[in-house]
């Protein structure tokens, strides 16, 4: 059960507004019925209602926004093969992660570990390989290790849509990439200080967990009491999950332990998310939903969920 933000009515199947983030009953679900703060951003001169697929109006099955999807030589309209990813950066990022994982497998088969490392792993020996600043965010431990990519994908799947609704797809993508890059660089910074740079093939970092924890940090600031299910079993407020993650990361960074988990990357990503969440809270009029909503789209029933935390790998 959830309470409608407009009338306080208990609603078993609440609706989440994608423009202001509020939770409403059927009577108040439409933006004009709850005084949606996002109405001020509806500046379409043709008065076309937002379909939920994108921030722009569709014409002829092509995007009129002039963005990346509009430049692709395939149909990107609502009925096209990429329709599901229009205006949905979270799932676009998840797609890139799994495509990158497939490319990692191909690199290992063609060129072995050396090629894979030079393309996908941000290393203390070669921080000047600028492309690995970015590829390492989307790359994960290759087969037979499935846990790494699956666990990070689960975190992004549950937390990503919430943050994307607050800040918009473009800012969400920037947050993901910037936090991922800074988290990775911070991890190899420690490894360089530890002398790894002088030992070929030792050290390095890959994985999306720095960015994933930045996403979780934003949610923690905007709605600290949001209930998540630790390993899908134990219900806890998200602030407690975030605090526990921070304590664990600080402990292992201080002791130099933690095995092959990049705790410094976790900590930096989380701090960036908390800072950006505070910025959003102070500068934007957003209201956080009081529960998870599965499926990513507005107007559907919600359900709780969420894992225990991501894991960026180090080598």
- Tens of pLDDT, residues 1-14: 677 878 888 777 77
Mean pLDDT for the chain?
79
Q: How far apart are CA 186 and CA 17, in angstroms?
A: 37
Q: Is the pLDDT of residue 303 over 90?
A: no
Q: Is the pLDDT of residue 208 over 80?
A: yes
Q: For residue 170, what pLDDT band results from cuts at 50, 70 and 90?
A: very high
Q: Report the range of poorest mean pLDDT among 21-25, 50-54, 243-247.
A: 50-54
Q: Report the range of poorest mean pLDDT among 32-41, 115-124, 141-150, 216-225.
A: 32-41
Note whether 111 and 118 are within 8 A (CB): no
Q: Is the pLDDT of residue 167 over 50?
A: yes
Domains defined along the chain, listed by start: 1-38 (4.10.1110.10), 84-284 (1.20.1540.10)
Q: Which residues of 63-73 are buried (b: 16+ CB within 10 A; e: fewer)?
A: beeebebeeee
Q: Is the pLDDT of residue 315 over 60?
A: no
What is the structure's pLDDT at 64? 41
Q: Taking the model in full, what pTM does it have? A: 0.70
Q: Which residue has the higher pLDDT, 137 or 88?
A: 137
Give pLDDT tens digits for 258-280.
677 889 999 999 999 999 999 99
Give pLDDT tens digits for 72-108.
555 555 555 566 666 789 999 999 999 999 999 999 9
Cβ atoms within 10 Å, residue 37: 17
| DSSP annotation string for 65-104 | S-SHHHHSSS--STTSTTGGGTT-HHHHHHHHHHHHHHHH
Angle in degrees, 0-180, between the axes of helices 89-120 and 130-138, rounded to the nearest 10? 130
């Amino acid at each position: 059960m959830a309470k409608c933000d407009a009338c306080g009515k208990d609603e078993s199947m609440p609706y989440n507004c994608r423009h202001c983030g509020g939770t409403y009953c059927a009577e108040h679900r439409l933006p004009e019925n709850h005084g949606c703060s996002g109405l001020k951003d509806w500046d379409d001169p043709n008065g076309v209602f937002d379909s939920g697929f994108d921030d722009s109006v569709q014409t002829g099955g092509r995007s009129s926004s002039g963005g990346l999807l509009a430049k692709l030589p395939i149909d990107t309209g609502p009925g096209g093969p990429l329709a599901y990813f229009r205006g949905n950066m979270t799932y676009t990022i998840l797609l890139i992660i799994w495509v990158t994982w497939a490319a990692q497998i191909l690199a290992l088969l063609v060129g072995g570990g050396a090629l894979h490392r030079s393309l996908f792993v941000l290393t203390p020996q070669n921080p000047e390989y600028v492309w690995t600043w970015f590829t390492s965010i989307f790359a994960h431990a290759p087969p037979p290790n499935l846990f790494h990519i699956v666990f990070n994908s689960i975190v992004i799947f549950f937390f990503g849509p919430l943050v994307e609704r607050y800040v918009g797809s473009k800012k969400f993508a920037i947050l993901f990439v910037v936090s991922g890059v800074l988290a990775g660089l911070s991890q190899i910074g420690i490894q360089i200080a530890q002398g790894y740079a002088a030992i070929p093939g030792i050290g390095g970092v890959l994985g999306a967990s720095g960015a994933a924890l930045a996403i979780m940090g934003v949610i923690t600031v905007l709605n600290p009491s949001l209930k998540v299910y630790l390993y899908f079993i134990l219900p806890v407020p998200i602030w407690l999950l975030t605090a526990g993650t921070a304590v664990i990361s600080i402990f292992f960074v201080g002791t130099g332990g933690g095995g092959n988990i990049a705790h410094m990357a976790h900590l930096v990503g989380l701090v960036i998310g908390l800072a950006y969440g505070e910025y959003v809270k102070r500068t934007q009029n957003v209201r956080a939903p009081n529960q998870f909503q599965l499926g990513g789209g507005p107007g559907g029933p919600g359900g709780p969920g969420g894992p225990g935390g991501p894991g960026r790998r180090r080598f």
